[in-house]
């Protein structure tokens, strides 16, 4: 949620293009508003910002033409203050001498704003990013103009988790602070920069410095200096060289990143399986999962990642005969936070590796002395740094806000681990990439037709039985997320216990049915069709099931365990086509952000 980027050069130049490109690479973090500020060599601040997405606002306000020796970009996901010009970031201080922007949540924002207003500062909006700027301004004015001291004092005033970047027009440096939200610095020839995330830094430099909580960063053209916010002491940390790939956020001929990422699923699944065969961390994972004795391990995540945990629990039970407990991250704290201990293992699953709810749960697990394992896509993320051992999802960057390929690989990873625990031959899984490719080719056309039909409805249901229940939940989440229709995912046998009353003429219900469950599912299908509902099956070919439904998306034949992963693809395609059919951009659904670093 929210992205910040800042850069300091050794001489004034046109900074607009680098600010726009960095912003574009952070757009997945928020797209309610966007702004850029530059400071010229003579100290003049040029601030341009507006509501909307970077592609549009940057053109309307001609960001590319902005010149300066220092610059800041901010992408906003609204928390405090509705999306508006006043709440768009960056923000100026009262007299326009400072400009800054933040990411995160200042939870005492309202109280701080009231204080500023009482003290006579010029408060223009209700956003907590503005609060960060005034918090620094206030101490700066009192202490005779020492930025570092002012930021340290502001830190003591600001409650919550955040990161911000700020500069004074008369100072050649840019300052940043990290408290809970991601921050990484870069060093190049005659420049330094800072960002919420690596993708916006890598096109500029591969020399990076990772910032930790409680650190202030002072950026000048040739140096990145770190200071401890508590006592002001200097921290020495050598720069690292990052040699990973620079992911280019290009659509590669697809109309949307989401469709491109769905089409990457066969490839990334194959790459993950290959990587798992040789990863030294797999043994540590398996050891930690079995070291709990009779106590089950926990699989912890949020949203789509949680749905993968749900499927993981079926895999561990049905393939490896081991119980694991899938649990939402905040629920883990409330339900198990007082009972876990050193003998317990929890696997924290997060695409971004930055989800605050997940990091909160890790804190509890650490405090209780338990083992922390991570499953993540973003290397270098907080989750990776805080795990005793981690496994990467190896998907490359997922740009589109709805998680697609990372969900598939989370499920593949759990299935692989379950096979290993069961001592089952993992070669069986090698068929998966080919089956995924076939599934995409076979179901895209039918998914379009189903999307045409369900697109006329504002409410619908997805039902799954047992091992396909997590897929029904995930399919419903994806559909809600990018079509704005209401869609509920349920265990199919539960439907008759109340929700069946939603069914009337033509009401769409999609049944995700695994091999061996067809005859059971026919009962649930008929409860819908006899009441005039339209039953749509996602299943491998099964004549009896076919004769009971109105539409059938045929998934290639496979074993029972591969099926849920394959069935995910038509569900993602239905959501995608329905979203596009409704004129929505599935990559940037309203109100959402790819990385949720707030409570």
Q: Is 2 part of the annotated catalytic residue set? A: yes
Alpha-carbon span 97 to 265, nearest angstrom: 49
- The answer to whether the beta carbons of residues 152 and 161 sit under 8 Å apart is no
Q: Which stretch binds ligand F6R (CB under 6 A): 282-290, 345-353, 422-430, 444-452?
A: 345-353
The two tokens of residue 555 are 């998934």
The token pair at 265 is 């699923």
Total residues contacting ligand F6R by CB under 6 A comes to 14
Are the C-beta atoms of 38 and 169 separated by less than 8 Å?
no
Q: Which of these ranges, 41-49, 243-251, 350-358, 415-423, lies near ligand F6R under the rule CB under 6 A? A: 350-358
Q: How far apart are CA 6 and CA 103, in angstroms?
A: 13
Q: Does 305 participate in binding ligand F6R (rule CB under 6 A)? A: yes
Nearest to 473 by CA among 588, 264, 313: 313
Which parts of 414-433 interact with ligand F6R (CB under 6 A)?
Answer: none
Burial (CB count <10 Å: 0-12, 13-18, 19+), residue 95: exposed
The answer to whether 578 contacts ligand F6R (rule: CB under 6 A) is no
Identify residues 484-543 at the interface with ligand F6R (CB under 6 A): none
User: Shortest gap between Cβ of 415 and ligand F6R (angstroms)?
Assistant: 18
Nearer to ligand F6R, 181 or 355 (CB): 355
Q: What is the largest CA-CA distance in the chain?
A: 81
Residue from 103, 105, 350, 548 binding ligand F6R (CB under 6 A): 350
79 binds ligand F6R (CB under 6 A): no
CA distance linking residue 198 with residue 219, whole number of Å: 17
Place of tokens 């076919």: 546
Q: Give yes or no for residue 481 binding ligand F6R (CB under 6 A).
A: yes
The correct pick among 510, 596, 597, 598 for binding ligand F6R (CB under 6 A) is 596
Listing DSSP states for 167-216 in one string gives EETT-S-EEEEEEBS--EEEEETTEEEEESSGGGTTTT-SEEEE--TTEE
Is residue 130 a contact point for ligand F6R (CB under 6 A)? no
Quote the Cα angle for 184-186-190, to 5°.
Answer: 155
Q: Is 355 in the site for ligand F6R (CB under 6 A)?
A: yes
Among residues 260, 405, 478, 594, the one annotated as catalytic is 594
Point out the residue whose Cβ comes nearest to ligand F6R. Answer: 303
By beta-carbon proximity to ligand F6R, the closer residue of 97 and 481 is 481
- Min dist CB 589 to ligand F6R, Å, is 9
User: Closest CB to ligand F6R among 15 and 329?
Assistant: 329
Residue that the structure tokens 């539960």 belong to: 494
* 439 to 478: interface string for ligand F6R, x by CB under 6 A: --------------------------------------x-
Whether residue 229 contacts residue 177, with contact meaning beta carbons closer than 8 Å, is answered with yes
Interface with ligand F6R, residue 304, by CB under 6 A = yes
Stretch binding ligand F6R (CB under 6 A), from 45-53, 292-300, 349-357, 501-509:
349-357
Site string for ligand F6R, 264-303 (x = CB under 6 A): --------------------------------------xx
Q: Which is nearer to ligand F6R, 128 or 481 (CB)?
A: 481
Residue 335 CA to residue 329 CA, distance in Å, equals 10
Instruction: Copy the structure tokens of residue 90.
Output: 């960056």
- Candidates 351, 382, 548, 597; binder of ligand F6R (CB under 6 A) is 351
For every residue of 438-506, DSSP letters joined together read HHHHHHHHHHHHHHHHHTT-SEEEEEE-GGGHHHHHHHHHHHHHHH--EEEEEEGGGGGGTGGGG--TT
CB-CB contact of 590 with 83 (8 Å): no
Q: At 122, phi and psi to the nearest 5?
A: -90, 105
The reply to whether 400 sits near ligand F6R by the rule CB under 6 A is no
403 touching ligand F6R, by CB under 6 A: yes
Cβ proximity to ligand F6R, 131 vs 400, nearer residue: 400
Would you call 594 a catalytic residue per the annotation? yes
Respond yes or no on whether the N-terminal peptide bond of residue 68 is cis (omega within 30° of 0): no
Asked if 449 and 557 touch (Cβ cutoff 8 Å), the reply is no
The total of other beta-carbon atoms located within 10 Å of residue 543's CB is: 8
Q: Does 103 engage in binding with ligand F6R (CB under 6 A)? A: no
**CA nearest neighbour of 345 among 298, 306, 310:** 298
Beta carbon of residue 594, minimum distance to ligand F6R (angstroms, whole number): 7
The nearest distance, CB 352 to ligand F6R, in angstroms, is 3
Q: Which of residues 210-239 bind ligand F6R (CB under 6 A)?
A: none
Which CB atom, from 308 or from 525, has the smaller least distance to ligand F6R?
A: 308
Please state the φ and ψ torsions of residue 163, each to the nearest 5 degrees. -140, 145
User: How many whole angstroms separate alpha carbon 599 and alpha carbon 596?
Assistant: 8
Catalytic pick among 2, 309, 439, 487: 2
Rule CB under 6 A: is residue 167 a binding residue for ligand F6R? no
The catalytic residue positions are 2, 594
The residues of the shown chain that bind ligand F6R, judged by CB under 6 A, are 302-305, 350-352, 355, 358, 402-403, 477, 481, 596
């Amino acid at each position: 949620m929210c992205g910040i980027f800042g850069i300091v050069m050794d001489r004034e130049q046109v900074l607009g293009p680098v600010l726009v490109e960095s912003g574009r690479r952070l757009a997945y973090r928020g797209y309610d508003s966007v702004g850029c500020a530059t400071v010229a060599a003579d100290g003049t601040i040029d601030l341009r910002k507006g509501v909307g997405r970077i592609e549009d606002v940057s053109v309307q306000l001609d960001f590319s033409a902005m010149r300066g020796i220092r610059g800041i970009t901010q992408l906003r996901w609204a928390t405090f203050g509705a999306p508006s010009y006043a709440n768009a970031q960056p923000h100026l201080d009262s007299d326009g001498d400072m400009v800054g922007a933040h990411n995160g949540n200042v939870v005492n924002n309202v109280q701080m704003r009231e204080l500023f207003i009482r003290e006579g500062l010029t408060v223009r909006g209700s956003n907590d990013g503005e609060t960060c700027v005034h918090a620094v301004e206030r101490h700066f004015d009192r202490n005779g103009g020492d930025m570092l001291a002012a930021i340290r004092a502001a830190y003591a005033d600001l409650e919550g988790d955040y990161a911000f970047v700020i500069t004074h027009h008369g100072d050649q440096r840019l300052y940043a602070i990290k408290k809970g939200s991601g921050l990484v610095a870069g060093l190049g020839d005659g420049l330094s920069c800072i960002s919420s995330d690596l993708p916006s830094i890598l096109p500029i430099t591969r020399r990076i410095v990772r910032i930790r909580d409680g650190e202030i960063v002072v950026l000048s053209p040739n140096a990145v200096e770190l200071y401890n916010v508590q006592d002001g002491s200097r921290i020495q940390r050598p720069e690292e060289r990052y040699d990973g790939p620079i992911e280019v956020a290009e659509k590669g001929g697809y109309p949307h990143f989401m469709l491109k990422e769905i089409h990457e699923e066969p490839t990334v699944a194959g790459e993950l399986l290959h990587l798992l065969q040789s990863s030294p961390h797999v043994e540590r994972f398996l050891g930690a999962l079995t070291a709990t004795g009779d106590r089950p391990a926990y699989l912890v995540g949020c949203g789509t990642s949680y749905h993968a945990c749900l499927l993981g629990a079926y895999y561990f039970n049905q393939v490896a005969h081991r119980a694991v407990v899938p649990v939402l991250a905040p629920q883990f704290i409330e339900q198990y936070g007082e009972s876990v201990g050193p003998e317990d293992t929890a696997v924290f699953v997060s695409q971004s590796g930055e989800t605050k709810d997940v990091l909160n749960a890790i804190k509890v697990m650490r405090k209780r002395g338990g083992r922390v394992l991570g499953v993540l896509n973003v290397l270098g993320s907080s989750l990776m740094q805080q795990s005793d051992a981690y496994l990467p999802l190896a998907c490359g960057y997922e740009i589109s806000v709805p998680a697609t390929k990372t969900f598939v690989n989370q499920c593949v990873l759990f299935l692989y681990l379950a096979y290993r625990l069961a001592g089952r031959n993992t070669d069986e899984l090698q068929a998966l990439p080919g089956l995924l490719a076939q599934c995409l080719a076979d179901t895209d056309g039918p998914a379009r037709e189903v999307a045409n039909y369900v697109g006329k409805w504002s409410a619908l249901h997805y039902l799954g039985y047992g091992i396909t229940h997590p897929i029904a939940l995930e399919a419903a989440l994806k559909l809600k997320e990018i079509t704005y229709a209401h869609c509920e995912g349920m265990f199919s046998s539960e439907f008759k216990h109340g929700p069946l009353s939603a069914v009337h003429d033509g009401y769409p219900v999609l049944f995700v049915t695994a091999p061996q469950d067809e005859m059971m599912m026919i009962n649930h299908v008929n409860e819908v069709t006899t009441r005039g509902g339209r039953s749509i099956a996602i299943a491998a070919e099964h004549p009896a099931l076919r004769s009971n439904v109105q539409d059938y998306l045929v998934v290639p034949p496979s074993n029972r365990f591969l099926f849920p992963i394959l069935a995910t693809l038509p569900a993602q395609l239905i959501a995608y086509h329905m979203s596009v059919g409704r004129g929505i951009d599935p990559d940037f659904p309203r109100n959402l952000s790819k990385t949720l670093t707030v409570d």
